[in-house]
Chain A
Amino acid sequence: MSTGTAVAKRVTRRHDEGAGRLAAILVSPTMAVLGLVVLYPIIAALYTSLYQKNNGVNPKTGIVEQGDKFVGLQNYTAIFSGDTASTFWTAFGNTSFFTVVNVVIETAVGVAMALVMHRAFRGRGVVRASILVPWAIPTAVSALLWRWIFQPQGAANALFNSQVLWTADGTPAKVAVIIADTWKTAPFIGLLVLAGLQTIPNEVYEAAKVDGATGWTQLFRITLPLAKPALLVAVLFRILDTLRIFDLPYVLVGPHKDSVNTLSMLAFDEANNIRYGPAAAYSTVLFIYVAVVAFLFVKILGADVIGAARSQRKAAPKRNRAAGKPEAVAA
């Protein structure tokens, strides 16, 4: 840890013009690419969302018109109050529902996993390897896997001796999506929280024990508060990830199903049918929704996302050692 801070101090001293110019040169390719593939599309989407495709003959001139026509905020008003309003609100509701329910369940399961892994001595290697398996499987493949498990004649019904049409529509489809999503992402949260737990020094627990704190008191007064920064960042990323959920409901249940249709699926569907204007409007609404949620989360709960990147310096050497020597992790 001491070398880390020493480096930090030395680097700070090198705060001069040369470093600034070198940094600009080094950083600019990344910024240029991000500008091209992120900033440009966002602005282009705003622009596109104000247009609609011309269809057919202009009644005034009698000329067949092609290209796009400016329609102002019509695409947006159509979303909120037009014929498609109910589709939008269903998708909006589903997206929000999945975000809240999935993230709560995944966090609970993930934290429980982290606590177990943190306490265990034996089998760390096995558990570490197996916990990475759900993470490594492509979401589309895991969706197919769960679609198979949730078939009418599949393993889930055989196991529970039930005859539920899981992947058709309705509440069972929602449950199927929640189960499949939890399976894939809870271990990942567990991994991040475990990393947070490992930075808590043992002395804190020793002191607590001397003061007579029981296991539960330790959990709620020491472990969870100290793991909070790691947990908040993990939860924030999961929330933003679930807000854009697409692969899982699309493959597990399928498109055009009211119970699992999400905002991403809606926008994809419009774009797929070459209705770029409405598609851009949907995706812009989703973008604003994500931005607002992220902003509120950071403001209210104080998730220090950049700090998480910045403070790696302190925690890093410890983790480096852990990565290098297997015994260091187990001990």
Chain B
Amino acid sequence: MTTTALPAAAATETVAPVKPKRQRTVGANIGIALIVVYCLIPFYWMVVSAFRRPEDQFSNLPVPWPISFRNFLGVFGQGVGFGRSLLNSLVVAGVTTLLTLIIGTFASYALARLEFRFKNAVLAVIIATSMFPVISLIVPLLKLFTNNLHWINTYQAMILPSLSFALPLAVFNLTAFFRQLPFDLEQAAMVDGCTPGQAFRKIIIPLAAPGVFTTAIITFIAAWNEFLIALSMVNQKQMQTATVAISKFTGVSGSGFDQPFGTQMAAGVVVTIPLVVAVLVFQRRIIAGLTTGGVK
């Protein structure tokens, strides 16, 4: 894009020695291949290890052969409670995302469209809160939830602290998205006879929906991947989220190994596949959201 995209006329007049186009393309293609391999190989290894027979756990074959689903059966076996953990993750991440979107949409709309005093201060506060270390928030909240509210092992004990990182992330993303909306269209619609309500419903909401949807995905992934809060606020197996449950897996693989890596990898695949599918389907939107947001 930098040099090769130049028109041929400009290229011929250059003084600087330019490598032949073909050579550059080959180099870039090799680079691209390296990036893809770098990103996917460890993930591929997780999938491969998940599909091995438990007794083949330490095999280093690049493909799982003979293929086996016993690790997955182990994950969802009786007494493991992984299904419940997935449900817990879904509830915590889902409610966090929903609350965040409801609260955050108002603030983002104001930050994107209205000019008011302290606007920069509000933005600064929101960005600053996303930088605070989660552990600094957990210690006092843990004390409060344990001694006063008796919220340990409840969903709200995980959802409320999760808002601390989800809300700034969502507001930041939504504000960037809302700024791109063509609000002139809304005016035009009103000139053409729409009421403000109709203009908002028929023009703004449909245009804002993709941004809200993207923010929902990014927020959900962030909340789904959360570990420290869920680890701190819960000490009952029944209430563990999936990320915590996986980290605490202890042998059900029947393979007799100290640590059931096959089962863990299978659980990892189960937890990750929905995210990877979402990422593949919505990659363009997610990248647009991530790069405008600038926050993880």
Contacts and interface: CB of A to CB of B under 8 A. Distances in A.
Contacts of A286: 133, 135-136
Interface string A290-314: 1000100000000001101110110
Nearest to B11: A209
Contacts, number: 374
A247 B227 contact: yes
Given A136-B275, A140-B247, A148-B261, A246 B3 contact: no
B250 interface: no
Given A144-B247, A183-B42, A290-B132, A267 B139 contact: yes
Contacts of A36: 160
Interface in A97-148: 113, 116-123, 125-146, 148
A184 to B, nearest CB: 9
Q: Which size class do B's interface residues fall under? A: 35 or more
A64 interface: no
Contacts of A24: 116
A251 B113 contact: no
Contact of B14 (A209, A243, A319): A209
A60 B49 CA distance: 63
| Shortest 3 CB-CB contacts between residues of A and residues of B | A116-B31, A44-B140, A195-B291
A10 B114 CA distance: 10
B172 A309 contact: yes
Interface stretch (B80-88, B180-188, B197-205): B180-188
A127 B28 contact: no
Given A127-B32, A187-B39, A209-B3, A31 B179 contact: no
B75 interface: no
Contacts of A23: 110, 114, 116, 119
A294 B132 CA distance: 10
B15 interface: yes
A140 B131 CA distance: 20
B283 interface: yes
Given A188-B296, A323-B284, A29 B272 contact: no
Interface residues of A, number: 132
B35 to A, nearest CB: 5
B6 A205 contact: yes
B276 interface: yes
A63 interface: no
20 contacts: A3-B182, A3-B184, A6-B184, A11-B183, A38-B129, A48-B143, A118-B1, A136-B278, A144-B268, A202-B6, A205-B2, A206-B6, A209-B11, A214-B17, A246-B227, A268-B138, A268-B231, A313-B179, A319-B288, A329-B284
A43 B285 CA distance: 38
Contacts of A264: 133-135, 228
A26 B109 contact: yes
Contacts of B171: 30
B271 interface: yes
A306 B175 CA distance: 12
A279 interface: yes
A119 to B, nearest CB: 5
Contacts of A234: 294
A155 B60 contact: yes
A218 interface: yes
A247 B244 CA distance: 10
Most chain A CB inside 10 Å of its own CB: which residue of B36, B175, B180: B180
B90 interface: no
Given A140-B227, A234-B294, A120 B29 contact: yes
